[in-house]
Amino acid sequence: MHDGGHHHEDREMLSLDLQNLKVISALGRGAKGVVFLVRTAKGELLALKAILRSSVEKKKVTSNINPNEYRRICFEREVLSSLHHPLLPKLKGVLLTEKIVGYAIDYCPGRDLHSLRKKQTEKMFSDDIIRFYAAELVLALEYLHGLGIVYRDLKPENVMIQENGHLMLVDFDLSTKLSAKSPEIRSESKLKSSPKSEPGKKKKKMISHLLKFRDSGISPADSVHQNESGGDTVDTESDSVEKSNSFVGTEDYVAPEIILGNGHDFAVDWWCLGVMLYEMLYGKTPFRGENRKETFYRILSKPPDLTGEITPLRDLIGKLLEKDPRKRISVNEIKNHDFLKAVDWDFILEMPRPPFIPLWPAINDMDGNEIIDVESYVQGVFEVGEEENIEKNKNSENKNKDVWVEGINHPAQIQNNEFFIF
């Protein structure tokens, strides 16, 4: 814990001024903001996420568009300011001008796990490399869960590689905070039987949820921000852990309980970890269908295809991809699983030579580049009419999420795996 003086010092340190930043390049964009690589007056490289202030204020006032949009932007900044872990970002500065709001974290020169996997010969990682990255992700999620934070959007694009080769989990705008109870309460109580719904009713509910998404124009790479319940969290009698009812996530990685809308808790992050480990092993996600409806159907009803001999890694993936969150493997069980039992959990963060050490880009060569006006740039990216955005989303629905997009001129398509998005 920090004392009051330290908090006061942090607040003074966190103020950023555009005039004192050298904007080197645009790294990419997410649903709400553009990310820039910037250098401070002291020579420190940061990733600055800039959001159009007018869009934030509009969504704050016009609550019928999305009542949670403004809250999410504020929540992400609050989360960043509370994190103190080597695998998670630190809030390095907050920016506020008449046109934009923004915040900065450390720049990760290794880009993301997706781009690293795509560079492998067969676009897959070896078991030893998967073990290292899996262990670090377990530690990062365990820390977040200890703070009561459910991450909810674990995917390779949100896992960056730091200068030292260790991971950094970024992008907290889909996260939420539940009551600060131990996530292990859920794993202990999951053995208690709860009233089972009749098979017919369960099947009807699943079909009704799938029909709801039949005509969706959201592309496979898009994140879903819909809130179906009007409130973000609910308490359920069947479980001792507070749950959220928000419908959020990225299509290929969404847990079954989020699709069903019965409420979800920390267990959704372990499902996402299972999808990620599957992707690192096989080079593809386990439930991808021809469209969103089919993907959700497979998530709800199909077991993962764990082709190959039975190995500890495949066994762990199967336990993570357990569709019933009450039966899904928990953090203590994960750390003691055969695949990870050889991991020295106290030493892994000190490992001097992770599997991949990134090279720093030649930043000095970029000093002669044309000066980027951050405010105008963000305005230009987000001044696309709603109808044009919707049409672009429809047109990109069946496009592969791995497609490379040159430049940053296509807002509806830029949310792809090759860009730094947080």
**160 DSSP β-pair partners:** 112, 168
Distance of CA 256 to the CA centre of its chain: 17
Residue among 275, 261, 276, 284 nearest 321 (CA) = 275
Spatial contact of 296 and 209, defined as CB atoms under 8 Å apart:
yes
Distance of CA 316 to the CA centre of its chain: 21
Q: Is 153 labeled as catalytic in the residue annotation?
A: yes
What does the DSSP 8-state code read for residue 324?
Answer: S
Spatial contact of 288 and 305, defined as CB atoms under 8 Å apart:
no
Residue 245 tokens read as 């009812």
Separation in Å, CA 259 to CA 136, 264, 273: 27, 10, 17
Q: Which is catalytic among the residues 106, 112, 153, 173?
A: 153
Residue among 278, 264, 263, 271 nearest 323 (CA) = 271
Residue 259 tokens read as 């699709």
User: CB within 8 A of 391, min separation 6: which ones?
Assistant: none
**Residues designated as active site:** 153
